[in-house]
Chains A and B, each alone.
Chain A
C-alpha cells in the first residue's frame, strides 16, 4: 500500500508541474512588475528624481481630487454602457449560432472573428471613417434624404466611443459565450419547456446558469478592456475624450510626469474595476436564482 503522503505529493506534482512554465512567466513578467509598481505608488518625486519612502499622499490626492473622481465615474460609466450593449448582443449572437443556425455556427463564428485579423488601430480609424461628418454613415443618410446636415454627435463624442468600443469588443465577447453554449445540450432547454417553463424562465433559470462561466468571461473582456482603453477615446472621443487611462498615461510621459501618482492611479483603477466586476457577477447570480 502506497504511503498517503507520498501519493499526495505525487498528485500535487502532477497538478503543479504543468503549471510551472506559465506560472513562472506570470511571476516574472506580471507579478514582479506589479509588486514594483505597487511599491512605487507610495514614493514621491522631486524634479526628475524618484524619492523612495512611504506616503499615502498619492492615494489621498486621487480620492480627494474632483478631476480624478469625475474621470473615474466617466470611465466606469462608459465601460458599463459599452458592456450593457456588447454582452447581450454577444449572448444573442452566440445563442443564434448555437441553437438557431446550428449547422452554420462555426462559419458565422469565423465571419465574426474576421475583424480581428486587422489591426486594432486600423479598426478604430475605420470607425472614424464610418462615423465622421463626411463619413460613410452621414453621407448615406444625406444621400437618402433622411437628414439635411451631418449628424455631428456620431463622431468625437461619448456615443462614438461606445460604438467603436462595441465594434472592437463584440468578437471577443462572442467567443467565450459561444464556447460555453456548445456545452449546453438542447435537451435541457426542451425538457424545461415541456415541463411548462416559459422562454424567459428557461433563459434565466436554465441557460444562464449553465453558461455563467462564459458570461463572466464575456463581461470581463468587455468591461475591463473598455475601462482600460485610452486609444479609442483619444481618436473618436472628441474634445471631452479623457478617460482614466489617458490620465495614467500622462503621468509617465516626460516633463510633468509623476510615476508614483501614475502607479497609485493604476492600482485604484484596478481595485474599482475588480469591485465593479464582482458586484455585477453577484447580481447576475442572484437573477438566475430569483
Chain B
C-alpha cells in the first residue's frame, strides 16, 4: 500500500472539507506511516461506520510531552489494563510512555462490530474488561436500553476532561441521569465524496439524487442507519431516527426513486473509494474525507461536499469503562493521559480524525484538522453531534419501529 507521497497541503480557511476542494494549492507532507494506518481503515466493516486502524508503528505523532503520571487514588498503578475497542484507538504508540513509566501492560483486543463489546461482556467477559471504545450511536442505544455495559465515570479522576471542546463536555449521548459514561476521543463526519470534473457541487437535498442526470453515477455505503437517516432528514421527518412504519415506508420509496442511479453499494469506505477511483461512479454518498487523499495518490481528483440544505451526519468515539472493570485505577489514569492535549492531538492525527480536546487543535497538522468543521464542536450541549441521533431504537417503541425494521427496509432497497 505504501507509495511515494507527494508534498501537499490543503487550502486554509474554513475548518471544513471545503478546504480540500482547492486543487493544485500548496500541500504539506503526510507521513507514510499515517497513510498506512488510514489505508487499513478504508476497508473496515462499514457497519461500524468507522475504520479498522493499522497497528504498525507511527511517526506522525506530535510532541507528547512528559510521560504523564496520571492521577490515581492512592497511586495504585501498574499491572494490567484490558482494552476492547476499535483497532488503533488503544493508541499503542501514543500511550507507550505512560504505560512504560507506570509499568502497565495493556492487553488490547479489537472488535469488528459495534456490539462485540456487549457480546463479550455477556459471554464471560464481565469482570475482565476495562477500557471500551463505543461510538456515539451504540452508546446511545445502550444507555437508552438500560443494558449494563458502561459504568458511570468519576470525572474527578479525569481532570484533563475539563479541556474537552464544549460540545463534548456534556454530550447527551454520554450523559444519563446526571452521570457521564464516556470521554470522547475522536470525531468526524460523513460527507459526499465526488468528482469535481463532473459535478460543480452537490444538490440541495439527498432526494435530489433521484434526478435522472445522476444515472449510473452514485455509490452508496452499505449502512442501513446512515442512509435511511439521511433520506429521512431530506424528507423533513421531525425525528429522522424515530420513524413510524408509514414514515419508514415513505423514506424507502424516496430512496427507491434514486436506486436506478446507484451503480453499486460499497461494503466499506475503502471499497467505495475504489469504485470512485476506477471511475465506475462519480459521487459517493456517506463518504470520508480521507478518500480524497487516497484518490489523489492514484492520480484521481475527488473532493468532499454535502447537500447544502440537508448537510450530513457526524460520529464520535469515546473511552468508556466497563461495569466491574478489574483495573479501575489503571483505566482512569489511562483515560486521563489520553485526554491530555498532546495525546489527543497525536491520536487524532494518527487516526485522521477530529480531536476532542480544545488545546489539541493547535497541535494538529493543518491537513488533518482542515478536514472537519470544528465550528460544530465549539458549542455546548453536544452541538450538532448531540442533536443528531442517527441510530433508531433497538426495539419498537409504540408506533416507532425498531432497528430491525430499518435493516429490513435497507435490504428491501438493495433487493429492488
Is the pair A250, B391 in contact by a Cβ cutoff of 8 Å?
A: no
Q: Which residues of B contact A247 (CB under 8 A)?
A: 411
Q: Does B267 lie within 8 Å of A235, measured CB to CB?
A: yes
Q: Mark the stretch among B34-42, B159-167, B402-410 that contacts chain A.
A: B402-410
Most B-side CB within 10 Å, residue of A71, A132, A256: A256
- Is the beta-carbon distance between A49 and B113 smaller than 8 angstroms? no
Contact A254 B267 (CB under 8 A): no
A258 part of interface (Cβ distance < 8 Å): yes
Complex Cα gap A252–B115 (Å): 9
- Most chain B beta-carbon neighbours within 10 Å: one of A70, A128, A156: A156
Residue contact A256 to B278, C-beta cutoff 8 Å: no
A133 touches B406 (CB 8 A): no
Give the complex CA separation of A125 and B273 in angstroms.
Answer: 13
- Closest-by-CB residue of A relative to B407 is A256
Q: Which residues of A contact B137 (CB under 8 A)?
A: 255
B411 touches A48 (CB 8 A): no
- B276 CB, nearest partner CB in chain A, Å: 12
Q: Within the complex, what minimum Cβ distance (angstroms) separates B116 from chain A?
A: 8
Query: Beyond A47-B394, A132-B280, is A257–B115 a contact (Cβ under 8 Å)?
Result: yes
Check: A234 CB closer than 8 A to any chain B CB. Answer: yes
Q: A47-B145, A255-B391 in contact; A239/B47 too (CB < 8 A)?
A: no
Q: Please state if B114 and A133 are interface contacts (CB–CB under 8 Å).
A: no
Q: Mark interface residues in B189-231 (1 if CB within 8 Å of A CB, else 0).
A: 0000000000000000000000000001000101011000000
A239 to B45, CA, bound (A): 18
> Which residues from chain A contact B220 at a C-beta distance below 8 Å?
239
Chain A residue with Cβ nearest B146 = A47
B224 touches A152 (CB 8 A): no
Asked whether A47 and B395 contact (CB < 8 A) given A152-B216, A241-B265, A255-B115, the answer is: yes
Partner of A255, one of B45, B138, B263, B414: B138
B271 located at the interface, meaning its Cβ lies under 8 Å from any Cβ of chain A in the complex: yes
> B115–A48 contact, CB under 8 A?
yes
Verify if A46 is at the interface (C-beta below 8 Å from B).
Answer: yes
Flag whether A109 is at the interface (Cβ < 8 A): no
Question: Within 8 Å of chain A (Cβ to Cβ): is B7?
Answer: no
Let me know if B75 is at the binding interface, CB within 8 A.
Answer: no
Measured between alpha carbons, how far is A240 from B260 in the docked complex, in Å? 10
Q: Is the CB of B114 within 8 A of A67?
A: no
Are B262 and A239 touching (Cβ within 8 A)?
A: yes
B128 lies within 8 A of chain A by Cβ: no
A253 part of interface (Cβ distance < 8 Å): yes
* Any A CB within 8 A of the CB of B376: no
Contact indicator A234/B113 (Cβ below 8 Å): no
Q: Determine whether the beta carbon of A240 is less than 8 Å from that of B113.
A: no
Residues of chain B contacted by A237 (CB below 8 angstroms): 264
Shortest distance between the CB of A1 and any CB in chain B (Å): 57
Inter-chain contact B414/A254, CB cutoff 8 Å: no
Residue A192 interfacial (CB < 8 Å): no
From residue 252 to 299 of chain B, which have CB atoms closer than 8 A to chain A? 259, 262-265, 267, 271, 274, 278-280
The chain B residue with its CB closest to the CB of A152 is B216
Q: How far is the CB of B406 from chain A (nearest CB, A)?
A: 6
What is the size category of the interface that chain A forms with chain B? Answer: 35 or more
Complex formed: what's the CA distance from A250 to B264 in Å? 17
Least Cβ–Cβ distance between B255 and chain A, in angstroms: 11
Q: A231-253 CB contact bits vs B (8 Å, 1 = yes)?
A: 00011011111100011001111
Contact between chains at A48 and B279 (CB < 8 Å): no
Say yes or no for A134: interface residue by CB 8 A criterion. yes
Tell me which residues from 364 to 416 in chain B have a Cβ below 8 Å from any Cβ of chain A: 391-392, 394-395, 402-404, 406-408, 411-412, 414-416
Q: Which of A156, A251, A256, A258 is the one whose CB lies under 8 Å from B263?
A: A156
Please determine whether A48 and B118 come into contact, CB atoms closer than 8 angstroms: yes
Does residue B141 face the partner (Cβ distance < 8 Å to A)? yes
Residues of B close to A250: CB separation below 8 A: 224, 407, 411
A253 CA / B410 CA spacing, docked (Å):
14
| B142 at the A interface (CB under 8 A) | yes
Is B3 on the interface with A (CB-CB < 8 A)? Answer: no
Kindly list chain A residues whose C-beta atoms are within 8 Å of the C-beta of B406: 256
Shortest CB-to-CB span from A270 to chain B, Å, is: 20
Rounded to whole angstroms, the CA-CA distance of A235 and B416 in the bound complex is 17
Which chain A residues lie closer than 8 Å to B407 at the CB level?
250-251, 256-257
Tell me which residues across on chain A come within 8 A of B216, comparing CB atoms. 152
Q: Complex Cα distance A73/B335, Å?
A: 51
CA distance A125 to B267 in the complex (A): 13
Instruction: Decide if B147 touches A49 in the complex (CB within 8 Å).
Output: yes
Contact B225 A255 (CB under 8 A): yes
Instruction: Flag whether A269 is at the interface (Cβ < 8 A).
Output: no
Complex interface: chain A residues within 8 A of B141 (CB): 48, 255
Interface core residue of B45, B142, B407, B414 (most chain A CB under 10 Å): B414
Per-residue A-contact encoding for B29-72, CB less than 8 Å = 1, 0 else: 00000000000000001011000000000000000000000000
A155 at the binding interface (Cβ < 8 Å): yes
Among B113, B138, B403, B415, max chain A CB count under 10 A is at: B415
State the CA gap A250–B115 with chains docked (Å).
13
Complex contact A254–B415 (CB within 8 A): no
**Of listed A125, A132, A133, A239, residue having the most chain B CB within 10 A:** A239
Q: Which of A48, A74, A238, A240 has the most CB of B within 10 A?
A: A48
Contact call B278/A134, Cβ cutoff below 8 A: yes
List chain A residues, Cβ under 8 A from B412: 67
Q: B-contacting residues of A (Cβ < 8 Å)?
A: 46-49, 67, 70-71, 74, 125, 128, 132-135, 152, 155-156, 234-235, 237-242, 246-247, 250-258, 261
Interchain residue pairs with CB less than 8 A apart (25): A46-B395, A47-B394, A48-B141, A49-B147, A67-B411, A70-B415, A125-B274, A132-B278, A134-B278, A234-B267, A234-B271, A237-B264, A239-B263, A239-B264, A242-B411, A242-B415, A246-B411, A246-B414, A250-B224, A250-B407, A253-B113, A255-B137, A256-B225, A256-B392, A256-B406
